[in-house]
Structure 1
């Protein structure tokens, strides 16, 4: 059964955050991975694992690259030549991979994002880029949903923003209760979408079309 969570509020200006600690050296990271390999019960010195610490360090820099990027900057360039268009803009099925901040295992899902422009629009790829930046950080789905909605609202200042994320959490599928295929649905609405139930219904209907 899907879990539905609405109107989650993030910490103030969470989308502007940078790493809160100095990163360790490459050597320190590889040593830490070596310890984890020993913790699993395997032998870090066997042939198949000799290069694993280097590979893991490289993979982590890619998977958590969102800490070095500012989503607000991605939304900075807008377009006002829209021929008077001021109706719903909806980008559906934005695929993403993130990692749970509690167990550091994958969250796999897709985001649906809509906004009601106020005389300006942003490039569609920028919306997807914002999702990627937040996804490439340690996350909870609830916080990520609100972070996306709030940065779009704060930077573009549209009449309203709607964000729905549906995802499967490997911390639930691979460990603990081990329920594969269970998905979680979260949503955040701002402005007109929050105040007008009909606009919420229209967004959800268009999101599910096709």
Structure 2
């Protein structure tokens, strides 16, 4: 854990009018620094490490969907969480990706300071790069604490983003099938 980061959290506590020497806050700067390192551990990972060779020969050329992958990220504008789920689909062209690798790719990019729009694109591009798929689709639905806890304070707002590549972009039928299968008509 980073001592400079711990010191910065101590300064933040002082900045909001707290006493970092108070019993309940004695270890808070250290815990907060450790939590931030965990929440941003996607910076220490690479796509090659995540995939780790888990690409398998397959003659399947039908849509593969992994839906409702929970994700936790931090808004790069306010450092507040956004929480939701990703739905990822691809159409294989000779190779399929190990199932857990799809979720790990989502996590790697989510565990960075983000905006949801970029996160959606990064996941889609990574799946395309790794699989060489005929098409990739990613939909993310998330609630943003920066909308709920501050600013406009809208408790029931939800943001949806999508990226459609290849066959999902070119074919309305393919896109519609994907959206129907994930429950988004």
Q: Does the aligned pair in 2 maintain the 1:130–1:148 contact within 8 Å?
A: yes
Deviation at 1:71, TM superposition (A): 2.4
* Map of 1:37 onto structure 2: 13
* Map of 2:56 onto structure 1: 79
* Cα distance in 2, alignment partners of residues 197 and 73 from structure 1: 34
- Residue of 174, 178, 184 corresponding to 1:203: 178
* Cα distance in 2, alignment partners of residues 100 and 116 from structure 1: 31
* Cα distance in 1, alignment partners of residues 105 and 3 from structure 2: 31
* Cα distance in 1, alignment partners of residues 49 and 178 from structure 2: 26
Aligned-pair Cα RMSD in Å: 1.2
* Map of 2:65 onto structure 1: 90
Deviation at 1:72, TM superposition (A): 4.0
* Cα distance in 2, alignment partners of residues 73 and 29 from structure 1: 27
* Map of 1:56 onto structure 2: 32
* Cα distance in 2, alignment partners of residues 125 and 72 from structure 1: 14
Q: Does the aligned pair in 1 maintain the 2:54–2:101 contact within 8 Å?
A: no
* Cα distance in 1, alignment partners of residues 13 and 140 from structure 2: 34
Normalised by the length of structure 2, the TM-score is: 0.95
* Cα distance in 2, alignment partners of residues 117 and 73 from structure 1: 21
* Map of 1:135 onto structure 2: 110
1:140-159 paired onto structure 2 within 5 Å: 140-159=115-134
| Structure 1 unaligned blocks of 5 or more | 1-24
Normalised by the length of structure 1, the TM-score is: 0.84
Change (3 A) 1:186 1:124: same
Change (3 A) 1:72 1:201: farther
Structure ranking higher on relative contact order (CA contacts 8 Å, 6+ apart):
1
* Map of 1:46 onto structure 2: 22
| Structure 2 unaligned blocks of 5 or more | none
Task: Give the match's secondary structure for 2:105.
Answer: helix
Q: Does the aligned pair in 2 maintain the 1:72–1:151 contact within 8 Å?
A: no
Q: Does the aligned pair in 2 maintain the 1:66–1:134 contact within 8 Å?
A: yes
- Alignment deviations for residues 142-184 of structure 1 (CA, whole Å, 9 cap, x no partner): 0000000001111211100000000000000000001012100
